[in-house]
Structure 1
Amino acid sequence: MKYPVFFLVFLIVSCTKVETTALQQWQHVAQGSYAAEIADNGKFAVVSSVQNGIAFWDLQQNALTYQWQHQQDQENLVFNLALSPDNSHVLSADQQNFALWRTDNGANVGFWQIDQSSIRDIAVSNNGAHLLIGKSDGAVQHITLASGRRLEFLGHTEKINSVALSPNGRYALTGSNDYQAYLWDTDSAQIIHTFSHPSRVSTVALDPQGRFAFTADSQSMARIWDVQTGALISSLQIIARQQVFSAVRFSADGKYLLTGAPTRNVVLWRVSDGKELQRWRVMPRDGSRPAGAVVHAVAFLSPTRIISESSSGYAEVWEINYE
């Protein structure tokens, strides 16, 4: 008996149970957030919203530690946040300005402005030593604060959508509307590996331990690469005709990948073959019609628990079942 294609897709999708009940849940913003980032170890989060500006949270205590104002006496319009891998600094940006903050005492390190184009994505290295700014004109700026050195990477021909930086600031991964993702050396601006896609590259991520690179386009191709060799490790086994990612995180042991999407979905994948293992759905934003939320950030808390921050304004803890 032959079944319609849509019926077969339904059967495949329905094999994955979607969890909607969180183990724990904390409201960080009452009216929703613009952006959020979670520390790699899941201990801290930074959230941007109209109500609270830029808020730095201790997730272990669920305590608000700092509140920062990106532009004094102006509405907060910070849509990009980055937390250094060592949790020492937060980088924030609106379309024209970016600022660096210390997490040990809440002090501001500096404010900067770009004169041309607009900021599309940002990243920061350990100790806040290096900043990476992806722009709408296709250029990527790498800044070394100690020396004031600014290197412009001009390998892309269209606007930047996503950037990532190694913990030591030496390597950058950038994705653009030109269908390319480049891994490049921030000392020389030389391209190390090129990862090509059939449509615009919307999301990139680097494993902090230097093992993997993740690249995804605007359709349904998402790939995991070996950083050292540039070889393809796996492609995520995506069923949907179109899949866009808004958050990515590799597990510490390198076996798993966690992703978040603008469709409320958080998904756990196996790195070795790209197989989907488990799926969760975060709380929708209050009053949204239809009920929706963007998953801003995800992280592993332990081998059996994960945490998410979404535009609904909630941090939610979920349980992993490796069955």
Structure 2
Amino acid sequence: MKYPLLFLLLILSGCEKLLQPAPSQQFLHVANGSYAAAISDDAQYAVVSSITDGIAFWDLNNNALLYQWQHKADTDNYVFSMAISHDNSVVLTADQHTFALWQVNDGKNRGFWQLDAATVRDVAVSNNGDHLLIGKSNGGVQHITLATGRRLEFLGHTERINSIAMSPNGRYALTGGNDYKAYLWDTKSAQIIHTFSHPSRVTKVALDPTGRYAFTADSKDLAQIWDIQTGEQISRLQFSARQQIFSAVRFSPDGRFIATGAPSRKLALWDVQTGQELQQWQVSVKPNSRPASAVVHAVAFISHNQLISESSSGIAEVWEIKNESN
């Protein structure tokens, strides 16, 4: 970490009430900032989307660029939704009308698909790329099984989808939309298993890949962690802000913690059982950016004492978790 860079970032961030802990490592992935990013569950890989570099797939262990992909040749890249499968075998990317599946082992494309009736709002992918989940602007959610070509349309939502998640085996989906609802549902039958209600539009959902917990958050001040088996609330995240939007969420492998990112640069660590905030950081901004802001696109646990984030600044950053939180 170069201290002159730290001082510059603090100046650009404006007057702050508290000095936030600095990242222990930084890696520039996109010079001019990114549209979207996803990090694998085990923090091994990241995929980052930008106009300048297209879709860039990174080995985070070695900070090595492995692949660069494009949806359309010789045109600007507007990929806003991406997901990496839990087993790190495939990456699903989407612009407004097209989604594509890529193989991690060799970088080859496995297919492109087109949406005609609506636009893509969010995507998820199962292990091996066996199942794709596409959240749409018309409120529909499409579950696709590639081996058979089966397409199941979930019509439980009445307004546009904002966020989706899927279990690693592709069997269960969690979806949230502008109808103030999040649904956990079975992708074989489209039957709703649990309904999670909010007082405003649901903007972010996430699933614990081991099948323990679900996370749902709305556009105002309610973010909740649920027991997937019973549908009962485990905790509500405790924050004093009148409005808290989440742009990234990740459960720790042991299920004790949840890490969140926000459009306000904020990265935070929470206790799953109590909803108490344990630690917070602020991701860096691009030098000379006006306003001095950044969206946290993705976050993952490197270990029990480290997080890694990707943000719209185009910078991947490693953060140290205090010992008392472990």
Q: Compute the TM-score of the two structures, normalised by the length of structure 2.
A: 0.93
Distance 1:71 1:270, change over 3 A: same
The root-mean-square deviation of aligned C-alpha atoms, in Å, is 1.1
Q: How far, CA to CA, are the matches of 1:19 and 1:186 in structure 2?
A: 42
- 3-state SS, counterpart of residue 76 of structure 1: coil
Aligned to 1:233: 234
User: 1:156 maps to what in 2?
Assistant: 157
1:229-285 deviation line (CA, Å, top 9, x unaligned): 100000000110000000000001100000000011100000001000000101012
> In the alignment, what sits opposite 1:273?
274
1:80-91 equivalences in 2 (<5 Å): 80-91=81-92
- 1:6 matched residue in structure 2: none
Question: What are the equivalent positions in structure 2 for 1:93-172 lying under 5 Å apart?
Answer: 93-172=94-173
CA apart distance, 1:21: 1.2
Contact 1:18 1:278 in 2 (8 A): no
SS of 2:290's equivalent in the other structure is coil
Displacement of 1:82 after TM fit?
0.5
How far, CA to CA, are the matches of 2:290 and 2:53 in structure 1?
24
Partner of 1:209: 210
Aligned residues: 309
Check 1:274–1:322 CA distance in 2 against 1; reply closer, same or farther (3 A cut): farther
Displacement of 1:65 after TM fit? 0.2
What's the counterpart of residue 299 of structure 1? 300
Q: Which moved more, 1:288-297 or 1:225-234?
A: 288-297
Report how far residue 19 of structure 1 moved.
2.8
Q: Which runs of 4+ in 1 moved over 4 A?
A: none
Farther-moved stretch of structure 1 (17-26 vs 266-275): 17-26
CA contact (8 A) 1:201 1:218 kept: yes
SS at match of 1:127: helix
1:309 equivalenced with 2:317 (yes/no): no
Determine the structure 2 residue equivalent to 1:62. Answer: 63
C-alpha distance in structure 2 between counterparts of 1:303 and 1:96, whole Å: 39
**Aligned partner letter, 1:224:** I
Distance 2:40 2:177 in 1: 25
Name the amino acid aligned to 1:30: A
**Structure 2: distance between partners of 1:134 and 1:322:** 39
C-alpha distance in structure 1 between counterparts of 2:21 and 2:124, whole Å: 31
* Conserved? CA contact 1:247–1:297, under 8 Å: yes
* Identical positions, percent: 67
Structure 2 gap ranges (5+): 1-15
Say which SS state the counterpart of residue 27 (structure 2) adopts.
strand
Q: Is residue 288 of structure 2 the alignment partner of residue 287 of structure 1?
A: yes
Instruction: Measure, in 1, the Cα distance between the counterparts of 2:79 and 2:287.
Output: 21
- CA apart distance, 1:18: 5.6
